[in-house]
Amino acid sequence: MAASESYPEGLKYHREHDWARIEGDEATCGVTWFAQDALGELVHFEAPAEGGSTAKDSSYGEVESVKAVSDVIAPLSGEILEVNQKVVDAPETVNEDPYGDGWLVRIRLSDPGEVDSLLDVEAYKQHLAEQ
Amino acid sequence: MQTLLRTPLHGRHVAAGARLVPFAGWEMPVQYEGVIPEHRAVRNDCGVFDVSHMGQFHVEGPNAHELLQSLLSNDLDKIGDGEAQYTLLTNERGGIVDDLIAYRIGKHQYLVVVNAGNRDAAYAWMKEHEIRGSEVRDASDEYALLAVQGPRSIERLGLPDAKPFTHAMGELDGVEVMVNRTGYTGEQGVELMCAAEDAEELWDAVVARGAVPCGLGARDTLRLEVCYPLHGNDITEDTDPISAGLGWTCALGKEFTGADVIRAVKEAGPERKLVAFVMEEKAVPRQGMPITGVGDAAGGEVTSGTHSPMLDKGIGMGYVPADSAGPGNHLTIDVRGKDRRATVVPKPIYKREET
């Protein structure tokens, strides 16, 4: 079942419809409800390699539905500590729980100062309203 | 600025919350709840598609049969009144102008249903070749067409059993319909044609009987699982029927446009063949992706690709050199710069398991 629309407080958001949950110098990243809804049920997550890196504003993977494929944009730069194997095996997890079980990667931030450039939930909702 | 055309069911699609997209000049529903649940509804039970964007031509007159025999690849002498035939409209180069279904109403009266994207081209072609005693008339705007497909479709509609590729006039919940035992999903089902002004009433009746509204997204995944070609992707004005595996639709013992070219291809053997393949790795092939690594020969190209909801794998079709076209041959698909392994499989890709 697809999740209903939500944008949790306490996450940081990127304009390209990605979110980051910051915990110290680490962050968990995924795509927002808006992104998964626009794509439809996901059938493939082209995941990056663990141990690789993300660069803020650049693609680190692809998510794909029956009809469309989209780059996943890194909200922050860092080292990829972990890829969510559950999403690799069952991509629809992203549709069911985009902010929980449907996270994509966990990274160690290389420049924690970048966090300041991300949107808070109110700013992201404003950004969505302008889409 | 170009305005998108709308079918008589546009209001129903909007009300149902469908996601509408431009398709061949029409604003059409690509999905309602989602491609995958809609796909499963058709494989397991019953779904309904608005395919009113397709074109309907009446071909009539004492020489209607003769005209169609000269323009269409298949042999209309093989069918009688109340029967239908899958056939090709070909050009002088043996290419495919459109693939279509001809419904024989009488010796002097046919209905042909053509692809939405080829309606103008097919009409112009047929009109141009009209002969004395035949008339081709584009009646597309007068009709709505609903495809009701799935193993329970006949039961849900309360229709009698009938053979595939037959048709009859009938009534469904008070709406006069032409009931065509045809479809594009590989499942049992019908295509119901009614007057445009009755479209909403028919749609409501079919949905009330339990058919799940389905969009063009599921229509594409369903047809690709069973390897029905899509004109514009897998077959075009530049591809011949033999290479496309549609030799069975060509009656090479009769004369029709381009028949000599098609005979020559058959005689010499096609250089390339349209094959079906299944991905061996997690990846979704898409139209236009190069097929490389086909032996020493030049590669090919994916003409249709998607994710198969039934196999839960990437599937597709594409042209490859004939010597690489056998089932079991390994292909490499260039998926956005990454080589992904695939294997040629027999058509259809999906077949219901015998129970």
Domain ranges of chain A: 13-112
> Which CATH architecture does the domain made up of A13-112 adopt?
Beta Barrel (2.40)
Chain A CB contacts of B30 under 8 Å are: 67
Residue B217 contacts A, CB cutoff 8 Å: yes
Please report which confidence band the pLDDT of residue B294 belongs to, taking 50, 70 and 90 as the band edges. low
Environment class of B185 (CB within 10 Å of its CB; exposed 0-12, middle 13-18, buried 19+): buried
Question: Which of B283, B307, B336 comes nearest A66 by C-beta?
Answer: B307
- Answer yes or no: are the C-beta atoms of A34 and A27 closer than 8 Å: no
Angle, vertex CA B275, rays to CA B272 and CA B281, nearest 5:
125
Whether residues A41 and B336 touch (CB distance < 8 A) is answered with no
pLDDT mean across residues, chain B: 96
Number of Cβ pairs < 8 A linking chain A and chain B: 38
pTM, two decimals, is 0.94
- Answer yes or no: are the C-beta atoms of A44 and A124 closer than 8 Å: no
What pLDDT, on the 0 to 100 scale, is given for residue B2? Answer: 63
The encoded tokens of residue B67 equal 């005209």
Among chain A, residues having any CB pair with chain B shorter than 8 Å are 2, 40-41, 43-44, 46, 62, 64-67, 69, 88
Q: What is the pLDDT of residues B195-233, one digit of tens each?
A: 999 999 999 999 999 999 999 999 999 999 999 999 999
Whether residues B307 and A40 touch (CB distance < 8 A) is answered with no
Distance CA B186, CA B206 (A): 20
Whether residues B36 and A67 touch (CB distance < 8 A) is answered with no
Strand partners, B326: none
The encoded tokens of residue A64 equal 């794909």
Q: What is the pLDDT of residues A72-106, one digit of tens each?
A: 999 999 999 999 999 999 999 999 999 999 999 99
CATH 1.10.3720.10, applies to B10-53+142-225: no
Mean pLDDT of the region B9-38: 96
Q: What is the pLDDT of residues B172-186, one digit of tens each?
A: 999 999 999 999 999
Distance CA B59, CA A44 (A): 47
Whether residues B34 and A41 touch (CB distance < 8 A) is answered with yes
What pLDDT, on the 0 to 100 scale, is given for residue B293? Answer: 73
Domain ranges of chain B: 10-53+142-225, 271-355
H or E element in which residue A129 lies: helix A121-129
Of all residues in chain B, the percent with pLDDT exceeding 90 is 95
pLDDT over threshold 60, residue B283: yes
CATH number assigned to the domain covering B271-355: 2.40.30.110
pLDDT over threshold 70, residue B296: no
Comparing B10-53+142-225 with B271-355, is the CATH topology the same?
Answer: no
Q: What is the pLDDT of residues B114-162, one digit of tens each?
A: 999 999 999 999 999 999 999 999 999 999 999 999 999 999 999 999 9
